[in-house]
Amino acid sequence: MSIETIEFGGIRYAEVIWADTRVEITRFFSPPESSFQFGLLAHEAGFIEEPHFHQPFKREINDLQQMFVVQRGIVAVDLYGDGGSHLREVILNPGDAIVLIHGVHAIRVIEDMQCISVKQGPFLGTEYDKVVVDVKR
């Protein structure tokens, strides 16, 4: 299945990296200008990356993207448009990952799950981070 980009009306809402996705060399899937960079690292046995660090510099981020990587269980992710209309349901299994880029999302646990969740910081508290939305299903 590889990589799936989910767009509606020219807006990218999410990208899914299915567990069976394979790359021969490191490949990033996010556009270079995206505030959240994601991809797959791939190297042949014996590869050595030189010791390094990532140069800090001030960045301005006006969106908050989130990535889930399912370690165990099954999770449904519902994507909604800005007006609250249901756009799509994505079922994730172990090894699948999704990057939530735009719009409203909800999760429903189908089978006991554990996910790695990654998003930009700093975390300013639930009252600033989450906005509950009344959606149409």
- Output the tens digit of pLDDT for each of the chain's 137 residues: 488 999 999 999 999 999 999 999 999 988 888 888 889 999 999 999 999 988 998 888 888 899 999 999 999 999 999 888 999 999 999 999 999 999 999 999 999 999 999 988 877 887 877 888 888 76
Alpha helices by DSSP H, the chain:
126-129
pLDDT of residue 127: 80
Contact indicator for 51, 41 with CB cutoff of 8 Å: no
Q: Is the peptide bond before 32 cis (omega within 30 degrees of 0)?
A: no
Tokens of 14: 């999410």
Q: Report whether CATH 2.20.25 matches the domain 3-129.
A: no
pLDDT of residue 59: 84
pLDDT of residue 128: 78
d(CA 118, CA 134): 25
Contact indicator for 67, 38 with CB cutoff of 8 Å: yes
> How many Cα atoms are found within 13 Å in the side-chain-facing hemisphere of 16?
23
